[in-house]
Every structure is written in C-alpha cells, then in structure tokens.
Structure 1
Amino acid sequence: MSIETSGEEMYLAHSFMSDEKKHNFQQPLVLAVEDHDDSLLLISYALESLGCRFICQADSSATLIVAKEYQPDLIMLDILLPGLSGIDVVRHLKQEPLTREIPVVAVTALATREDRERILMSGFDDYISKPYMIEDLEAIIRRLLYERLESHSAYELCQD
C-alpha cells in the first residue's frame, strides 16, 4: 500500500505549521494528526505551552510525506482517522528509514487494556487515551522529547 498526497494536502500541512516558532530550529518540532478540531486545539495548546513548534493535520493521508520532509522530533497520532487508520500510518512510518526512529504517540479514544496492548504492539512508542488531562499529555511529550533535546544539544556542541 502506498500513501499518496496531492499538492493541496501539502499546502494544508504547510499552512497549519505554527508560524511564530517556524524559524527557531532549537525548539522541537511535533507533527500532530487528529481529525477532531477540539482535540487538535488541546494538543496544539499543550505543545505551545511546552515551547514546541508544531504541524497540525486533520487527515492522515499526507502524514508519511510530511514526516519525511520535516523530520519532526515527535508524532502525535490519532488512531481512528478517516482513510488510513493511525495503526496503518505508524506501520508505514516504522518501515521507512527516514521516519522509523521518530517516536510516535497514540492519542485515542480506544481505552481498554486490549486496545492499549494492540496499539503499542503495532509500533507506537507511547499511548494516551481520551479524555486525558493536559498535564498527562505534557508529561508524555516531555519524556519523549527529553532525549531529542539532549541529542540536539550534543550536535550543536560538535558544530562549534
């Protein structure tokens, strides 16, 4: 199965990139894929409060292309999306050399123990079920971005 996207979808991905932090390359970049506006707004609020740059998408069809192009430090991915499910998307991401090392968090309404196990077994690095407390979401983001921030710092030291 291949994931294709139109120029319009790429434009939408570009247009939802957080403008005020687009050029500060020291801040982590997060790709958030969520089809419900309220959930996307909550995620973007959490990311902004943590000082992250972010790209928001409501459709999963361009996720692999956007991830390959922008190389985000973290991907937050809903499971129940129109078109490709989050599980399908994470499988593609983990098979692609350019995106396989990017941590991916499942943000989903699927909340049973069996759902969690199935989701984590499909390749996600972490899981949070809706509804969630923003503090819990921020804790997951901080934990997963900590190593990325450390590796960026080491890289910057080598560049001096």
Structure 2
Amino acid sequence: MIYSTLSADSEYTLSMGQNKIDKQPLVLAVDDDIDNLELMSQILDLFGCSCVGALDGKTTLGVIRDRQPDLILLDICLPDINGIELIYQIKQDPKLVDIPIIAVTSLATPEDRDRIFLAGCTDYICKPFNLDNLEITIRRHLH
C-alpha cells in the first residue's frame, strides 16, 4: 500500500505476490514518485519482502509509528520534509531509533553522502541502482 496525504482517500494498493518466506520483513519505501514506489514494491516482492509506501515525509512518520517497519528505504528529496530532517526526527524517537534507514537517492556528491550518514542513515544507494547491490544491501540490514 502507498500512503499519501493528497487526500483522506488517496491510498493505492500495490499488487503483492505469493509469500516467499514464512514471515516477510516489512519494508517502508518512501519516494515522491508513485512510479518509483510501484517499481520498488515489485522489486521488494521479488526479494521476499512486504512493502508499504509513502509519498511524503509527514505520511512517512505516521506509517512508521503505525506499522513499525523492519527497514526504511528513503528518498532524500521529498516535497514536504527534507529527507535529512526526516531521518533526524525518526532517530530522535526511542521506539524508532533502531529501524535501519537506507537512503535511495540521486544525491551523489561526497558532501551529500556525508550529510546523509551524519543524519543517521545506516546505508546509502545511489539512483539509478543495481538490483544485485540493492538486494545485498537490503538483506544485510534485515538479517
């Protein structure tokens, strides 16, 4: 499912395949592009994960508190709350601080990477990403 603050009824259902493992890890994917979220949902399904998506930072905070995902894949450039600020807010909550956050972003300068890691991200993947590297990174932080 993708959650959005566009309206109270703007919830989109993403197709999810068969369960691939007994307990699928829940991954929250955050990106302001619905096509990117749908692609990420399909990729995560192939990796054996359940996926919930959010289109903006405010919604992300609500979903994290409500669903307690096992991992967050976070685009840094969001329309309402900058991803760096969002990371700070997540890491300040004792109930959320241990959730690994992987930045999935097109911000690729060394300065950008430094800011992302200093904010509290666990890992970093540059867009466009390689599927094998994405899978390795996700599995490393889920297990």
The two structures share one fold, judged by TM-score above 0.5: yes
* Corresponding position of 2:29: 32
CA RMSD of aligned residues (A): 2.4
Give the CA deviation at 1:39: 2.3
Structure 2 unaligned residues grouped into runs of 5+: none
Match of 2:63 among 66, 69, 89: 66
Q: 2:35 is aligned with what amino acid?
A: D
| Structure 2 SS opposite 1:128 | strand
Q: Kindly report structure 1 stretches of 4+ aligned residues shifted beyond 3 Å.
A: 15-22
Please give the alpha-carbon distance, in whole angstroms, between the structure 2 residues aligned to 1:89 and 1:16. Answer: 24
* Corresponding position of 2:142: 145
**Structure 1 130/84 Cα, relative in aligned 2: closer, same or farther at 3 Å?**
same
**Structure 1 75/21 Cα, relative in aligned 2: closer, same or farther at 3 Å?**
farther
* Corresponding position of 1:77: 74
Bigger CA drift: 97-106 or 35-44? Answer: 35-44
Which of the two has greater helix per residue?
Answer: 1
| Structure 2 SS opposite 1:140 | helix
Give the CA deviation at 1:111: 0.5
Give 1:1-160 correspondences, 5 Å limit. Answer: 8=8, 12=11, 15-16=12-13, 26-146=23-143
Please give the alpha-carbon distance, in whole angstroms, between the structure 2 residues aligned to 1:123 and 1:18. Answer: 31
* Corresponding position of 1:149: none
Give the CA deviation at 1:37: 2.9
Residue-by-residue CA offset, 1:12-67 (whole Å, 9 max, x unaligned): 3xx44666679x97110000001123322332122111111110111221111110
Aligned residues: 138
Contact 1:16/1:57 (<8 A) preserved: no
Contact 1:106/1:126 (<8 A) preserved: yes
TM-score normalised to the size of structure 1? 0.76
Please give the alpha-carbon distance, in whole angstroms, between the structure 2 residues aligned to 1:40 and 1:136. Answer: 18
* Structure of larger gyration radius: 1
Q: 1:83 is aligned with what amino acid?
A: D
Please give the alpha-carbon distance, in whole angstroms, between the structure 2 residues aligned to 1:16 and 1:104. Answer: 23
Identity percentage over the alignment?
44
Please give the alpha-carbon distance, in whole angstroms, between the structure 2 residues aligned to 1:16 and 1:60. Answer: 19
Residue-by-residue CA offset, 1:72-97 (whole Å, 9 max, x unaligned): 00011100010101111111110012
Structure 1 unaligned residues grouped into runs of 5+: 147-160
